[in-house]
Each structure stands twice: as structure tokens, then as C-alpha cells.
Structure 1
């Protein structure tokens, strides 16, 4: 009996240690704050799926969206944007009820950074822009952000979220485009699952 209890205690301790290790690994290195109130965002409220993808893990550590200009993520981002965001922001993010998102003017200047745009999407903003953590997974938010960034219609020098390499290759959005069904990249294989 003692041996079984000792084994259960050790197994419990190992399990608790693993849970703490997972929680620490998913703790953001950056403090994300609500766009309006400045309060620290609580990611415990996020939808359970799409929380621990490699893209989300990298983003939470760096504040840079790894899906920007990744063609395998753009098609998915477009689909999510059209169903979740275009009603207020327009089909090409030109603005409607909500502000335009495809130029260099930002209602909230922090949205020039991926960290700021993510915080606005996750925690909401003023008027009708409620928090989207109840509707979109963290991974879906990154895909939507990549699509919004892709729709940018001004000079790449004004796209502060692009890396130098991305800026050199960037072409301002000029209209509808076709993406292959499953191009290589970080989101490969996810198109069929959606």
C-alpha cells in the first residue's frame, strides 16, 4: 500500500512539474496591454484551440507575427477576415462601420506594431470593436493580422511591421489575387481543415 501511495505521490509531483513547465513555456515574454485601459491582457480567457502553435509561441516571445507575408497563412487569414472582420472593416479593410486598416493611418498608433494590433484584436477597442478572444483563437488572430498587413496599399517604407527583407519584396496591395490551395509555409496543410 505504501509503495502505491509513494508511486502516486511521485507521479503527481511529476505531473505538477510538467504543468508548471508548460505554463512557463507559454508565458509571454512581452506584456500585452488592453488598447483602451492599459490593463494587462489575460490569455487564460483565450479559446483553448490554437494557443500552442509554433506561430503563437514565437509571437508571444517576440511580439512579431511570424505569419506576415507567409502565403500559406494569407489565404486562411483572408477567409477568417472575410467572415469575422469585413462586416465592419470592409472586404479590403478599406473601412466601413469600423476604421480602414489598409493604409498608414491608425486610430490607435500602437497598431503599427504587431504587438499593438494583436492587443486591439484580442482585448477590443472603443465603439463596436469588442474583444475577439471569444470568437477567434490566438492563431487565427495572427492569420487575420497577416492578411490585414498584406492588404496594405501604401509604400513599404510605411509598413513598420515588415522586416527589411519583407520590405524589399513587398508590393502594395492592388486588388484581388489568387493563392494556391496549399502553398508551402508555416500554415501548410491547414487550409483543408478549415
Structure 2
């Protein structure tokens, strides 16, 4: 077998092992990610191979809480991903256009109030034009998009159930356009370089 074929084979084996591990981690923690519409268990075998084994994804799969929420180092990346992948339907500030608004306390799918629910909708899709995004965004990118969506929330922090108590104390409803720093310290800083 040539070195390039062996490398591809090893990469595929590594990706498959990562998927099995993610599924096992999520099940061990008691988290079962389900399709928002059908309720079927989501199949992470379909996800893009990159971005599955980041520390953020591993933490999310065990806790169901997005570790990138309110992490300034992840917001600029999340904003860029949201603008390219989501804003066409949900608006530049998640105010809603073809798709529903995502920056207030009303959720078309009430489970999206939780990080686990919002991730499941992004990954597996919703109704109408909201198709599954697992072939457009990596799992890690989905978490960054979610952090940006949560950042755009314009209502009182008490209505932001996804925030920790500490985050809720410092949370300020989104007031409008802002300039984000290029590389503040945080969980996503190394990925931004």
C-alpha cells in the first residue's frame, strides 16, 4: 500500500474512532441529541470529519452546555460563520427574515432555549428551509455560531436560560453593532491564528 493510501486509511480510521468516542461520551453523560422534528437520535457519523475532537466539542458532548458562550475569543469566529452560513435566512443580527428571529426569548422550537436543543436543530435541521447543517459546518463551528446567536440576545438576562449564574450577572443585552477584538484570550484564540 502506498504512503498516501495508508495515510488516507489512517485518517478515516481516526475519524471513525472519534465519532464512536463522541457518541459514547454523550451517552455516558446521559445526553441524547435528538432531531428537532422527528425525535430520532442524531447520527454523528454524518458530521464533517474536522472539528470533532476539539476541547470545546468534547466538553459540550459531556455537559450539553456550550463552553464558548460569552467567550470573547469565540465570538468573532462565530459572527463570521453566522454571517456566511445563517444570516441569509435569519438576518444579520438574527432578527429574522425567511427564517425566525433568534435574538429574543421566543423560540419556534422551545428546546432551542437550551444549548443541547439549539445544537440539535442546527445539526439535524428544522422545518421548511432549515435543513441539516452537518455537511456545512463542523461540530466546533456549530458551537461558535451558537455562541454568536446567544451573544445577539436582546432581552433581559433572566430570560437567557443557557447562561450560567456568573454569566447572567455580567450579561448585557445586545444593543447593536459592535467591533470585536481580533484575538482576545479564551478557548478559541489558538484556532483564530
TM-score tier after normalising by the smaller chain length? 0.7 to 0.9
1:106-158: CA deviation from partner (whole Å, max 9, x where unpaired): 00000000000000000000000000001000000000000000000000000
Checking the alignment, whether the CA contact within 8 Å between 1:26 and 1:57 is kept in structure 2 is no
> What TM-score does the superposition give when structure 2 sets the normalisation length?
0.87
Q: SS of 2:192's equivalent?
A: coil
Q: How does 1:1-194 map to 2 (within 5 A)?
A: 23-24=20-21, 27=24, 28=26, 29=29, 30-192=31-193
Q: How far did 1:178 drift?
A: 1.1
- Whole-Å Cα distance in 2 between the matches of residues 113 and 22 of structure 1? 23
Gaps of 5+ in 2: 1-12
2:6 matched to which residue of 1?
none
Greater shift, 161-170 or 175-184, is seen at: 175-184
Q: How far did 1:190 drift?
A: 2.0
Deviating above 6 A after TM superposition, structure 1's stretches of 4 or more consecutive aligned residues are: 19-22
Q: How far did 1:24 drift?
A: 3.5
Checking the alignment, whether the CA contact within 8 Å between 1:46 and 1:137 is kept in structure 2 is yes
Q: 1:103 to 1:20 in 2, by over 3 A?
A: closer
- Whole-Å Cα distance in 2 between the matches of residues 106 and 96 of structure 1? 14
1:11 matched to which residue of 2?
none
Larger Rg: 1
Greater shift, 182-191 or 162-171, is seen at: 182-191
Q: CA RMSD in A?
A: 1.6
Checking the alignment, whether the CA contact within 8 Å between 1:75 and 1:179 is kept in structure 2 is yes
- Whole-Å Cα distance in 1 between the matches of residues 187 and 71 of structure 2? 7
Q: 1:84 to 1:167 in 2, by over 3 A?
A: same
- Whole-Å Cα distance in 2 between the matches of residues 25 and 131 of structure 1? 19
The number of residue pairs the alignment matches comes to 175
